[in-house]
Structure 1
Amino acid sequence: MGQQFTYLTTEGLAERIHYDARTIRDSLKDSVLIEGIHYFRPFGGRKILYVWENIERDMWNGADDHVTIPMASGGICNGG
């Protein structure tokens, strides 16, 4: 069988990366978390499931590229 994936709800992802769920929905989704790579909508519905392994891979891959600082307002400041 193929690779096993860990699927997370927005709240589950928020717990895992220590971000507010609203920040994920409003600031990260569709800017750094891309549909079809980092998340999908099972059965064409409204519910979103995030693929932990792809998110973790890209968090580590992007760690050396640039510095991002989470802001209190929920935005992200790009440094470096």
Structure 2
Amino acid sequence: MPYTYLTTEELSARIRYDARTIRQCLKDAVLFEGVHYIRPFGGRKILYIWERVEESMLLGASAHDLINQLN
């Protein structure tokens, strides 16, 4: 399945949240590394996986559900 990778600014435009809110409030509280975003090549840059973010928004996934996706 091909994924759509977005920068923080691109994600911000799609979900209508300020990029700073994504970085400070959503990242690692609602959006988790390895589930919703990756750091390609072990770098500092973050790319969000749009399909995973969208699925979590639509389904209202709980932290328990997200943890189960990792197993």
TM interval, short-chain normalised: 0.7 to 0.9
Counterpart secondary structure, 1:50:
strand
TM-score, length-scaled by structure 2? 0.84
Q: Could you list the runs of 5+ residues in structure 1 that have no partner in the other structure?
A: 66-80
- Offset, 1:13: 0.2
The 5 A counterparts of 1:1-80 are 3-62=1-60
- Offset, 1:58: 0.6
Counterpart secondary structure, 1:60:
helix
Q: Which has the higher helix share?
A: 2
Length, aligned pairs only: 62
* Structure (1 or 2) with the larger CA radius of gyration: 1
Q: Could you list the runs of 5+ residues in structure 2 that have no partner in the other structure?
A: 63-71
TM-score, length-scaled by structure 1? 0.75
Answer 1 or 2: higher relative contact order, Cα 8 Å, separation at least 6: 2
Report the identity percentage. Answer: 66
